[in-house]
Amino acid sequence: MEKKKILKQLEEEFNDLTPSFQKIANYILINYKYIPAVSSADLANSIGVSDASIIRFCQKLGYEGFIEFKNILLMEINDSGKNPVDKMLKTIKLIGEDNKDYANLFQNELANLNRTIMSFDADVLKSAVDEIGKAKKVYILGMGSCKTIADLVYYNFKRLGLNCETITYGGIALYDSLSRIEQGDAVIMISFPRYSIDSYNAMKHVHDIKAKSIIITDNNENKLAKLSDYVLIATSENPIYFYNSYVGPIALCNILVFEYFTRNKAKCLKNLENIKKLNKYYLK
């Protein structure tokens, strides 16, 4: 099926749909810009239909399911020429006239962010946040270049009052930290190619002691992902230079922290207010 056809298809076939499907179609036509960012369960709840109805609706239109439907809808939105992404691409083209390397880097970062959005599974993220909220303590593990992301996630969670700790070094320091993790704790691991032996050993330990594990990585098939309870996918490809791109992973981590905040607003706001009060004494 060609791109740029979903919204037009809904309009053309609207009268031939069942009342339930018309209700879904009408909601999508009005709110289409937001559809790629929600799960089928969230959409069903917003419309007042069952999750199964959303799946059948997508199949009726010729898609395998909701994931394929929203991914192609996202492409349609991005290709419309009336959105920020299109404006960014035009800007990149202008940059590229004299600075092709810069333009290529911008395009790569934008493509990684777009692929991360297309891989986003809101249900998995919400389940992961459930585990973070229930955990006695949360350990945030990221080594090598992923240390920077782990430190950022730790900083944001700590400000919201979450009992958390970073693990960012390998070797003996890693195993000292792993010895403190217990069943009832949760581990957030951030790992992208090349996956280190220390990262694998850490995830294997977490799996063996039956602590809950959440991994932010580039695919579902690597050894770390297969040991994890919840897998959140972000694209980190960088074919231009020698380092990974972390625009997608950082965006995904920000959404993880934001979801925790929305679930625990009273606690988080109280902690932020306490920090604000202390700033009066220590920041001039």
Q: What is the CATH number of the domain that holds 132?
A: 3.40.50.10490
Place of tokens 């959404």: 255
Q: Residue 56: which residues within 8 A CB-CB, separation 6 or more?
A: none
In a domain, 137, yes or no: yes
**Angstrom distance (rounded) from CA 260 to CA 194:** 29
Place of tokens 């991360």: 116
Same domain, 138 and 112: no
**Angstrom distance (rounded) from CA 205 to CA 193:** 20
Same domain, 48 and 103: no
- What CATH number is associated with residue 68? 1.10.10.10
The tokens describing 63, both together, are 């898609």
In a domain, 108, yes or no: yes
Report pLDDT digits (tens) over 241-259.
Answer: 667 889 999 999 999 999 9
Ramachandran bin of 244, using left for φ above 0, alpha for ψ from -120 to 50, beta for the remaining angles: beta
Residue 82 has pLDDT above 70, yes or no: no
Residue 85 has pLDDT above 70, yes or no: no
Report pLDDT digits (tens) over 16-30.
Answer: 999 999 999 988 988
pLDDT at 1: 41
Task: Report, as an integer, the average pLDDT of 80-101.
Answer: 57
Task: Report, as an integer, the average pLDDT of 202-229.
Answer: 95
Residue 110 has pLDDT above 50, yes or no: yes
Residues above pLDDT 70, as percent of the chain: 87
The residue range of the domain holding 14 is: 6-78
The count of domains in the chain is 3
Candidate from 71-75, 114-118, 237-241 with smallest mean pLDDT? 237-241
In a domain, 284, yes or no: no
Q: Residue 67: which residues within 8 A CB-CB, separation 6 or more?
A: none
**Angstrom distance (rounded) from CA 17 to CA 59:** 13
In a domain, 162, yes or no: yes
In a domain, 74, yes or no: yes
pTM over 0.95: no
In a domain, 175, yes or no: yes
Residue 101 has pLDDT above 70, yes or no: no
Work out the pLDDT band at 179, boundaries 50, 70, 90: very high
Kindly report the number of other CB atoms within 10 A of residue 149's CB atom. 22
Of the three residues 92, 119, 146, the one that is the final residue of a domain is 119
Work out the pLDDT band at 225, boundaries 50, 70, 90: very high
Residue 207 has pLDDT above 80, yes or no: yes
Q: 173 vs 114, 169, 194, CA distance in Å?
A: 36, 6, 21
| SS3 assignment, position 18 | coil
**Counting every residue, how long is the chain?**
284
In a domain, 1, yes or no: no
In a domain, 192, yes or no: yes
Same domain, 90 and 31: no
Sign of CA dihedral 269, 140, 206, 177: negative
